[in-house]
Homo-oligomer: A and B are copies of this chain.
């Protein structure tokens, strides 16, 4: 259910409607738009009676939302969601720019992280990715440096200005990631770890949700909805390949989900061609394709010594490839009247 306020409704009227909804035992989500404010109503206990709501001051109309996802739906919010990073000019979403996220699969050491960070920053990346907590298939494989990695990435942010995106895998790591990073990543394996999604929804940091290996579009948007239902509306989606019979790539990158998401939802969607293909020689072509299909950004693994990487070496591109790719992406983005920002401008010292 969605309450659409009149264009001239006052903040007090919005507030009053929210209170009314909460008193009925539901949750009110105030969603300010360019023209008007909408108020999403969610809750576990069945459906609210629209009767009285329609007659509250400032209410234009009350709409039933037919999709299983509500806050993530374009029905509820027509304008593209834009995620901003305070103190910087970086944004994700909104339809006019293409965000570039780059970095190693795992933070392996201070030296490795800095070597890669300096190079991707020099090529213009605004966002740095690096795994601190790694969900590995084997309990005996390298599981990440944890807190140490987060501290290294915080240093990288101070030094380069790049904003940090890193994965949280449970309550404990979520608390640390929330403290150190700029975007909390929920990995593909946890896309339906609803408990973790809800906890991420209670933070006030943007949350990047990667598509699960066999998630349908609806399930993908429902995972975003889990985060949003807790009041955190800064959700970024990320396609990273799905599992199929095809064996020439590690996963099958499903680029058609980009226009599909954009039709149904206002949330930004990135594409990760590194996990999406698992093979270095396919990363750059698919990154180009992702920009051409209209993605809001690219998330890519870069390693200066991929043959020595502790994880995902075969799918990491070299810093030089990344630099060349940036130029291609810029040109393709221009065809779609989009912009690939080069470098991040930090107004004040980060944090």
A309 to chain B, nearest CB (A): 16
Closest partner residue, chain B, to A44 (CB atom): B140
Whether A140 touches B217, Cβ cut-off 8 Å, given contacts A288-B293, A335-B328, is: no
- A213 lies within 8 A of chain B by Cβ: yes
A290-B289 in contact (CB<8A): yes
A135 and B335 form a contact (CB under 8 A): no
Contacts of A317 in B (CB 8 A): none
User: Are A248 and B216 neighbours in the complex by a CB distance under 8 Å?
Assistant: yes
Contact status of A289 and B216, CB under 8 A, knowing A68-B138, A169-B195, A229-B140: no
Q: Mark A250-267, 1 if CB is under 8 A from B, else 0.
A: 001111111110010000
Which residues from B are CB-within-8-Å of A332?
A: 292, 332, 335
Interface members, chain A 127-174 (any B CB < 8 Å):
135-143, 169-173
Q: Given known contacts A293-B285, A335-B288, is B169 in contact with A171 (CB within 8 Å)? A: no
Number of this chain's copies in the assembly equals 4
- Of B69, B192, B229, the contact of A135 (CB 8 Å cutoff): B192
A25 at interface, CB cutoff 8 A: no
**Number of interface residues, chain A, beta carbon within 8 A:** 75
User: Does A13 sit at the interface, judged by CB under 8 A?
Assistant: no
Say how far A276's CB is from chain B's closest CB, in angstroms: 8
Instruction: Establish whether residues A289 and B293, one from each chain, have CB atoms under 8 Å apart when the complex forms.
Output: yes
Q: Cα distance A102–B226 when bound, in Å? A: 30
Asked whether any CB of chain B lies closer than 8 Å to the CB of A222, the reply is yes
A196 at the interface (CB under 8 A from B): yes
Residue from B42, B229, B285 in contact with A258 in the complex, judged by beta carbons closer than 8 Å: B285
Which one of A14-22, A52-60, A238-246, A341-349 contacts B? A238-246
Chain B residues lying within 8 Å of A196, measured Cβ to Cβ, are: 170, 193
Q: Which residues of B contact A104 (CB under 8 A)?
A: none
Closest chain B residue, CB of each to CB of A42: B140
Q: Which of B142, B252, B255, B328 contacts A44 (CB 8 A)?
A: B142
Q: Cβ of A189 < 8 Å from any Cβ of B?
A: yes
Question: By the criterion CB–CB under 8 Å, are A44 and B216 in contact?
Answer: no
Q: Collect the chain B residues with CB atoms within 8 Å of residue A222's CB.
A: 137-139
Q: How far is the CA of A195 from the CA of B134 in the complex (A)?
A: 10
Given A196-B170, A256-B249, A260-B249: A139 and B243 within 8 A (CB)? Answer: no
User: Which residues does chain B contribute within 8 Å of A290, judged by CB atoms?
Assistant: 289
Whether B242 pairs with A252 at a CB distance below 8 angstroms is yes
B213 adjacent to A214 (CB under 8 Å): yes
Cβ-defined partner of A256 (8 Å) among B169, B216, B252, B258? B252
Q: Are A246 and B169 in contact (CB under 8 A)?
A: no
The reply to whether the CB of A33 lies closer than 8 angstroms to some CB of chain B is: no
Q: Known A68-B137, A171-B170, A288-B335; judge A245-B216 contact (CB<8 A).
A: yes
**15 CB < 8 A contacts A-B:** A44-B139, A138-B222, A139-B222, A193-B196, A214-B245, A216-B247, A217-B246, A242-B246, A244-B244, A244-B245, A255-B255, A255-B289, A256-B286, A289-B290, A328-B335
Which residues from chain A sit less than 8 Å from chain B, CB to CB?
A: 42-44, 68-70, 135-143, 169-173, 189-190, 192-196, 198, 213-214, 216-219, 222, 225-226, 229, 242-249, 252-260, 263, 276-277, 281-282, 285-286, 288-294, 328, 331-332, 334-336
